Structure 1
């Protein structure tokens, strides 16, 4: 059994299924910012790194490689341990992609490379790397204040997209149509921290708005070879924000074999020098061909990997584990279904949840997970410029066709029983 270090785990609801499957095939040692909780059954050891700094992650991985495994604290005694060499190190946590890449490089294990990981984390660095290689993308400029932002927006032409340089989950990303809206949304984007960036004062990007369908492609990469695993299609809402209200994927999506898309992905990864790991690449299918929205140095969130396994039989987490250990991943497709997730939102901007539960008798046979995300007594806000956490529940489903999937998700969310009031 190969030995694998996993850095960070993320929310249990969204990542436990991945750790469970990896723990069945690998001897896993975790690097966490706290003692293990729900993760314990799936791992053989844990290193606790307070604050999960990049330096702390590197030190923890060095220690695991040097002497097997460590006890709860990084400087604690060895615990139960991994006999023999560590074969790989990986993460699916956005906050730790740079630290994990640095650790892999420090101990000579496969990884994306620190510079590539930084380019994924820093959206301006992504744009600069692609521009140097002539890879298609929207016009984009980094700005320091509202005056610069307005000048760039006038040059590109409204509408434009305001985007924080190092944001996640579309927080503070907005489509603006004039100078007044621009000033308002600039302030929100500028408030987000730009930790780890060389120029924290220049933390906002103004970008050309592209038209066309938006998709995301999750891939695993081994020695620079990009292997697309699945395509996810977004359902969007709450304009002018880019809230992802749902996703769906198809096990036999023809876009996976489209040479325009596979060639484009190769261009993007080569431009940033991404060597080994997993990426979540978002792109617009414009009339001029694919153009990059952003590339992230980890697998997608929102249970996308769960949907991929439901639709195709391919487990993206195991594929990432394989390439992280230098192995060829198993991407054999055993199903050709459509699988999706859809989120529920409150009826008012400020809503107090009194009761919330799914009526299981109302769930369709195609339904998979049906999960409330909030508890009675909580106040929930609809997505707005400073918050993108308005979800109150979600449901997943799998069906033979896109139309059957959409109908099943409609029925599943209709089974959500809520009592709420304006807060």
Structure 2
């Protein structure tokens, strides 16, 4: 199968392993970049030289006339809208522009969920500080401040009082204009309002799902527990599988994701869903029209026997993926985003006892020497990912903690130290039965 992947603007090397996996799974992947490096995917990459949607469409049409692609896909949150437009222009399967906007812009997403009766936090688009203060006063503190076009928890803040909201509103208003998730969007296409939302706070645990919608059926392919508690800011921090959710809870969550998919207009799509409990009941945080980020696709394969990448390849060419309802394989996993303080990175050393361990599912460093690491409230850069496996929850937790402590990090002007993860905020989670 010949597939065209789209990145409106190249997202560094972040998606490269996924492109490799497409080839390994039998695809012949070609890559269309609006702005990027033509040598990123040698021999099968074209660069439009502009993030303009019209330029992307023109290049895609000319290339399709020669290659006759079977489908168009993206693994980038920031290219969901551009990909929908390109697929439509080529006459290939896609989710459509309206569904793409609903799945990318958090304000449009919330309004769609509201119309569909999906349990979600209270929300309001807040164009200025007075409206933000009024919304938070109405919803109650703590409240959440977040961008409409964010990703990776960039400029998402928990605020506990009006003074804190005033400070964070200034940080976020300035930050969303320069944050990477916004800068990597295609140009010349309506992506919905760029701004901030105030939402009511949901007080319970969070869970991540890889899911598939296909002609009225909704499948949960994998489920992962978030096992750390956030503070004032939100990191993609520590996750564990198999999930501790009960069958009844999973059934209720499946109905919620199905209703959200219908509300967003997602008839055939791979999806990443985030659910948070509130007063013991599940509420939807977001439903993205692409596989989950980081290493969640690997976690799904190993712990649940579901491959979101393979499913995306099938959906892109209009073929129903082979999928079953969530069924854990028995393998335990725990993964973390590696973080460090802000500053200029000199080096990261991952010792072979970590990188080559039979228990390491993935040890990947994203940042290159010389990179500037931004941490909240200035940004939300991470060093990379570490995912390990084991025979039990407690064994896997201890292994991840030990391996994280072995990774050395050096920032300019500071002594060498260790990578870290917010273990002090680890939720007390019992091993899954």
Question: For the superposition of Structure 1 and Structure 2, which TM-score range results when normalised by the shorter chain?
Answer: 0.7 to 0.9
- Give the 5 Å matches for 1:379-418: 380-381=373-374, 383-389=375-381, 391-418=382-409
1:361–1:259 Cα change, 3 Å: closer
Give 1:206 deviation, angstroms.
0.6
Asked if 2 retains the 8 angstrom alpha-carbon contact of 1:162 and 1:176, the reply is: yes
Q: In structure 2, how many angstroms separate the alpha carbons of the residues matched to 1:330 and 1:251?
A: 22
Q: Secondary structure at the match of 1:51?
A: coil
Moved more, 17-26 or 176-185: 17-26
- Give the 5 Å matches for 1:309-388: 309-331=301-323, 335-346=329-340, 349-350=341-342, 356-361=348-353, 365-374=358-367, 380-381=373-374, 383-388=375-380
Q: Secondary structure at the match of 1:218?
A: strand
Q: In structure 2, how many angstroms separate the alpha carbons of the residues matched to 1:411 and 1:392?
A: 17
- Give the 5 Å matches for 1:204-283: 204-236=196-228, 239-250=231-242, 258-283=250-275
Asked if 1 retains the 8 angstrom alpha-carbon contact of 2:237 and 2:336, the reply is: yes
CA RMSD of aligned residues (A): 2.9
Asked if 2 retains the 8 angstrom alpha-carbon contact of 1:251 and 1:336, the reply is: no
Q: Secondary structure at the match of 1:343?
A: strand
Q: In structure 2, how many angstroms separate the alpha carbons of the residues matched to 1:19 and 1:378?
A: 24
Q: Which residue of 1 aligns with 2:27?
A: 26
Q: Which residue of 1 aligns with 2:96?
A: 113
Q: Which residue of 2 aligns with 1:52?
A: 51
Structure 1 unaligned regions, length at least 5: 69-81
1:129–1:371 Cα change, 3 Å: closer
Give 1:6 deviation, angstroms.
1.3
1:11–1:236 Cα change, 3 Å: farther
Q: Secondary structure at the match of 2:151?
A: coil
Q: In structure 2, how many angstroms separate the alpha carbons of the residues matched to 1:159 and 1:121?
A: 25
Give 1:103 deviation, angstroms.
1.8
Asked if 2 retains the 8 angstrom alpha-carbon contact of 1:236 and 1:243, the reply is: no
Q: In structure 2, how many angstroms separate the alpha carbons of the residues matched to 1:362 and 1:63?
A: 46
Q: TM-score, structure 2 length as denominator?
A: 0.82
Q: Which residue of 1 aligns with 2:427?
A: none
Deviation string, structure 1 residues 252-272 (Cα, Å, up to 9, x no partner): 976698210111111000011
Asked if 2 retains the 8 angstrom alpha-carbon contact of 1:237 and 1:244, the reply is: no
1:255–1:403 Cα change, 3 Å: farther
Q: Which residue of 2 aligns with 1:76?
A: none
Give 1:118 deviation, angstroms.
0.2
Q: In structure 1, how many angstroms separate the alpha carbons of the residues matched to 2:285 and 2:166?
A: 22
Q: In structure 1, how many angstroms separate the alpha carbons of the residues matched to 2:247 and 2:48?
A: 41
Deviation string, structure 1 residues 306-333 (Cα, Å, up to 9, x no partner): 2222323432111110111111213367
Asked if 1 retains the 8 angstrom alpha-carbon contact of 2:225 and 2:244, the reply is: no
Give 1:350 deviation, angstroms.
4.5
Deviation string, structure 1 residues 160-188 (Cα, Å, up to 9, x no partner): 10111111111111010111111111122
* Relative contact order higher in (CA < 8 Å, ≥ 6 apart): 2
Asked if 2 retains the 8 angstrom alpha-carbon contact of 1:310 and 1:398, the reply is: no
